[in-house]
Amino acid sequence: MSSLYTYFENLFKEVYTLPSIIVTVSIAVFIAYLQELKDEREREQKKKEDNASNEHDDKESEESEKQEGSEDPAPKRKAFALPSTPLPPPNTTRIFMSDELAEHDGTQEDKGIYVAIKGIVFDVSTKKEMYGPKGGYHCFAGKDASKALGMSSLNVEDCVADYSGLNEKEKKTLDDWFSFFEKRYPIVGKTEA
Ligand code: HEM
């Protein structure tokens, strides 16, 4: 009697549990497969987005950015983007005395904001949010800030024209900033020699 019971019990287990295990495992595998597909798609999407933003930040692609944003009347410039319109020819005939340059620190609404590098005065008025009184780079405004730019310093006492104390690496940094400004901001004059 007991062997008959065991026989039926085993038969029941086989019939009942095996298919249910198979079904459960199949569902789990299917869900995992769907999840993997979804992850794969998200990874590809992210890769595409990263590539797109890298292209913008890449200095090599700066030239192509000139062509962008022509339909938007006031396109928001991306960080480090080049101006969408060509710069006016440089004016190097106007000579700024330091007190005159200081008037262009953004505190006077009717005057442009100027930053000088290596004696060349750039009009950075388009970036008031950066060089104006509330800007993080206001310390450079209205003066020749060559030394600070070379040192990557925001200390007011470093914002001076004399950069003779910079080492080679800092001089290279300064030259890089000069080219950065040269490509982005109109040259409006020179500082007194
Ligand atoms: C935690 C440190 C810093 C961060 C996160 C930072 C971030 C940035 C960002 C995002 C921009 C681009 C903004 C834009 O074009 O809209 C920028 C521009 C700039 N940064 Fe910094 N910066 C830092 C420190 C410094 C320091 C120490 C200097 C000192 C030389 C400096 C000098 C500049 C200058 C001159 C620009 C160019 C602004 C322009 O005319 O477009 N930055 N920075």
Q: Structural domain boundaries of the chain?
A: 2-65, 95-191
The fold for domain 95-191 equals Flavocytochrome B2; Chain A, domain 1 (3.10.120)
60 pLDDT band, cuts 50/70/90, is very low
Beta strands 95-96 and 187-191: pairing type? Answer: parallel
State what percent of residues in the chain have pLDDT above 90.
Answer: 55
Beta strands 187-191 and 120-123: pairing type? Answer: antiparallel
105 pLDDT band, cuts 50/70/90, is very high
Phi-psi region of 120 (alpha: psi -120 to 50; beta: other; left: phi over 0): beta
Task: Please indicate whether residue 87, judged by its CB atom, sits closer than 6 Å to ligand 1.
Answer: no
Task: Please indicate whether residue 20, judged by its CB atom, sits closer than 6 Å to ligand 1.
Answer: no
H or E segment at 98? helix 98-102
CB 160 within 8 A of CB 147: yes
Q: What is the pLDDT of residues 119-137, one digit of tens each?
A: 999 999 999 999 999 999 9
Q: What is the mean pLDDT of the chain?
A: 82
Closest residue CA from atom 12 of ligand 1? 79
